[in-house]
Amino acid sequence: MARIVAGIGSSHVPAIGAALDNGKTEEPYWKRIFSGFEKSQAWMRETKPDVAIIVYNDHASAFSVEMIPTFALGCAAEFPPADEGWGPRPVPVVQGHPALASHIAQSVILDEFDLTICNKMEVDHGMTVPMNLLFGKVEKHGHWPCPVIPLAVNVVMYPPPTGHRCYMLGRAIRKAVESYPDDLKVVIFGTGGLSHQISGPRAGLINSKWDKNFLDNLSSNPQKLVKIPHLDYMREAGAEGIEMVMWLIMRGALDDKVDEVYRFYTVPASNTAVGHIILANRERGSGRKSAAKVAARSKRSPARLKRAAARTKVERIRG
């Protein structure tokens, strides 16, 4: 059967994509951010997922104010890049996985989550920036390392879905994946955030205390997050901080108890807090290497390997 081995949370700041596309990754301002994802890219290379489900939000690239689905699942064979502002990023067309996506659509809809099915959809920086941060830079005519199933969530126009609804959708997605007959290793991304506000009197708001508390609870106590009302996100994390509900879809697709593989947090990127976390499901007698073990093995120092053998390695880099 297919199974979700890990969840990845990542901000999707558009300026990070622009820095990568314009060769600025070695500039001190941007190096501080890109270096925080180097271990994650090593982890991803060793984990080698067969498919990635990426929860993100569209920024008026595929949809507009004329039509905004709450949850839109990409079931197409491919998804061309598009973007507002700077235009399409020079990244490859994203290959989909129509068979698994259609299976997820059927399972989740019959579980009473009313997804919109997208058989044609463009994808913007909300999805391609986290892909670059985790998969590394890929030339426009190259290939992303695995197929992707996009799940676009409306967090741009009121009312967005609740955190609880997102978490429960994650649960339904996990059930769907685990009922797919092929032996696929799947990872799921939650993207967006963390705290930021783009416009208005509070433009530039960043709340690191809130962000770090969110990451702590996401890792070890997600039930504390699922009932947070929209107003609390907006008050504490800024108007665009509501994007963080998308991380709860990722978290809902994981075990109740997970191993935190890696964490990175820094401020600012553009005017946004950058947060990143990798959470691995624990091995459950499948005979396959768990994502946490792969992560532990990817750290080369003997001292680290020894500690990893004793218990799951939790790494935190605090910016």
Q: Quick check: bond before 49 cis, omega within 30?
A: no
Burial 129-150 (b: 16+ CB within 10 A, else e): bbbbbbbbebeeeeebbbbbbb
Helix axes 163-178, 245-252, angle to 10 degrees: 30
Using only C-alpha atoms, what is the Rg of the chain?
18
Task: Write the CB contacts of 201 (distance below 8 Å, at least 6 apart in sequence).
Answer: none
Distance (Å, rounded) from C-alpha 246 to C-alpha 123? 16
Q: Are 52 and 186 in contact (CB under 8 A)?
A: yes
Q: Which of 216, 208, 309, 225 is CA-nearest to residue 263?
A: 216
Q: Is 186 helix (H, G, I), strand (E, B) or coil?
A: strand
Distance (Å, rounded) from C-alpha 292 to C-alpha 254? 13
Distance (Å, rounded) from C-alpha 4 to C-alpha 240? 28
Active site residues per annotation: 125, 196
What 113-116 contacts at long range (C-beta under 8 Å, 24+ apart), as own/partner pairs, is 113/71, 113/168, 113/169, 113/172, 114/70, 114/71, 115/71, 115/72, 115/73, 116/69, 116/70, 116/71, 116/72, 116/73
